[in-house]
Amino acid sequence: MAIKLIVTSTRPRRNGVDIAAAVAPLIAQGAGCDVEIVDLREVALPFLDEPEMPAMGKYTEPSTQAWSEVVKPADAVVFLTPEYNGGYTAAAKNAIDTLFHEWDGKVAAVVGYGWGGAGRAVPQLETIMGNVKMNVLEGPVLMSFGEHMTDEGLSVEPMVAGYGAELTALGKRINQAIELRPEMQAA
């Protein structure tokens, strides 16, 4: 079983990578498998620049081909998103829009973070995920910075620990959803 945790913030100074490092083991514990962190900043996708629409599956750009090879083997994807001005990140939208068939039927979930737990961004992102036929699990995990954000920065470990049970439960739900997929039952 392969789960990819996709860090969608690409800002030079960001909390996403540190949050992902704390979140991944908790999801893995619940799912009973490793969780690979995929950082969209490192993936460095250009804005969609394929001559054909992604639904055609005729990728000519090396960046698109490489991104397809990252996503394709995953049984599930978890998008880790902050909230920017009431929405999810442009990098997340671009990463989704760059592909099409790779998302079809993929088990998917969202973990949001921010002052309001990305509560406005997450439903928007889930809608887009559903539009490309991901099997989006209900019940995202919304992590609020709360008292963990100070002038010195975010205390990631204590913040994430407060959501440990939810993140582990999310991992279990991901595992169950993967096991229910027709191709897994045929194996």
What are 163-176's pLDDT values in tens digits? 999 999 999 999 99
Q: How many domains is the chain built from? A: 1
State which residues form the domain around 17: 3-186
- Indicate the pLDDT class of residue 32, thresholds 50, 70 and 90: very high
What are 50-82's pLDDT values in tens digits? 999 999 999 999 999 999 999 999 999 999 999
- pTM, to two decimals: 0.94
What would the DSSP string read from start to end of 24-91? Answer: HHHHHHHHTS-EEEEEHHHH-PPS---SS-GGG----SHHHHHHHHHHTT-SEEEEEE--BTTB--HH
Domain at 175, CATH number = 3.40.50.360
Is residue 105 helix, strand or coil? coil
